[in-house]
Structure 1
Amino acid sequence: MTHGYDVTVDWTGDLGTGTDNYRAYSRAHEVLAEGKPGILGSADPAFRGDPARWNPEELLVASIAQCHMLWYLHLCAMGGVVVTGYEDRAHGEMVMDATGGGGQFSEVLLRPEVTVTDASMVEKARALHGGVHAVCFIARSVNFPIRHEPVVHVQGA
């Protein structure tokens, strides 16, 4: 089975002279998909982007964290672990190459804080994070390590 994903990226950064030089245009754009609100995007501020808008690097880290969470919740539901809270403060590292014109991610660190309903679920809740990379579509599609440092809490404790 194959799934398709269509998005439109609409550049809105022509400041009147187009790209006649590197500093003459804005990196502003909008990421669109049918029936969904747009995502205001730009470049990373280090590359003349708008810090108030999402940049591609943040969106990549967010995609990894989202996919991990969704698969993790699925594995918990199938494995009898009742999760009532989940928050991940994910962090990605990108390293520029020696030419200064390119780079790549060296790793993403996921730091999920999970709340479960019973203390008897804590160890399994922690362990299930290890199985996510085998099934997460995004994690399986990238060429850098994705680490996780989960913390599990018990509801009401």
Structure 2
Amino acid sequence: MTETHTYDVAVEWTGNLGSGTDSYRAFSRDHEVLAPGKTPIAASSDPAFRGDPARWNPEELLVASVAQCHMLWYLHLCAVGGVTVVDYEDRARGTMTMDASGGGGRITEVVLRPEVTVAEASMADKARALHDEVPEVCFIARSVNFPVRHEPLVRVQ
């Protein structure tokens, strides 16, 4: 039997400035992403599309999801593969390409730049190699229709 998992979230628009969507400039793109028992995420659209730059936008959240999934699977593979990771951070970048018509766009690539610190020099080669195994198991990377590249840097503690 196939196992399934479901993920329920709510998105609530908080940007009615008094006249709703009476015109393109009449409303804020502010909203909250909600899930039971979790801190709300203050979100908006990209500032290029009249969004609030202080809030998360959907494109950033998508890139964050790809980076988080890669990290979590990578740490798992290291733990079961005998590589002790003592620090991990990633400076991921997603690229959105707009359609020539100007009406829309799509994420065309995400580049992950994980910087990993391992406990011993003897672990460095395997630590680098394990990044190549993540795309086969990462739920998010397997679900998107754009390339996810990674450019890891491995350091020794």
* The two structures share one fold, judged by TM-score above 0.5: yes
Partner of 1:138: 140
Structure 1: gaps of 5 or more residues? none
Separation (CA, whole Å) in 2 of partners of 1:102 and 1:124 = 41
Partner of 1:76: 78
Separation (CA, whole Å) in 1 of partners of 2:23 and 2:129 = 52
Superposed displacement of residue 87, structure 1: 0.2
Q: How does 1:7-156 map to 2 (within 5 A)?
A: 7-155=9-157
What code does the residue aligned with 1:2 have?
A: T
Structure 2: gaps of 5 or more residues? none
Q: Aligned-pair RMSD on alpha carbons?
A: 0.4
Separation (CA, whole Å) in 2 of partners of 1:111 and 1:26 = 33
State the secondary structure of the residue aligned to 1:101: coil
Q: Residue by residue, what CA displacement relative to the aligned partner does 1:44-85 show, whole Å, maximum 9, x if unpaired? A: 000000000000000000000000000000000010000000
* Greater CA drift, 56-65 or 98-107: 98-107
Separation (CA, whole Å) in 1 of partners of 2:10 and 2:103 = 25
Which stretches of structure 1, 4 residues or longer, exceed 2 Å deviation after superposition? Answer: none
What code does the residue aligned with 2:150 have?
A: H
How many positions carry a matched residue from both structures? 155
What TM-score do you get using the length of structure 1 for normalisation? 0.98
Superposed displacement of residue 101, structure 1: 1.3
What code does the residue aligned with 2:8 have?
A: D
Separation (CA, whole Å) in 2 of partners of 1:16 and 1:105 = 33
Superposed displacement of residue 150, structure 1: 0.3
Superposed displacement of residue 98, structure 1: 1.1
What TM-score do you get using the length of structure 2 for normalisation? 0.98
Separation (CA, whole Å) in 2 of partners of 1:99 and 1:19 = 24
Task: Report percent identity of matched pairs.
Answer: 75
State the secondary structure of the residue aligned to 1:61: helix
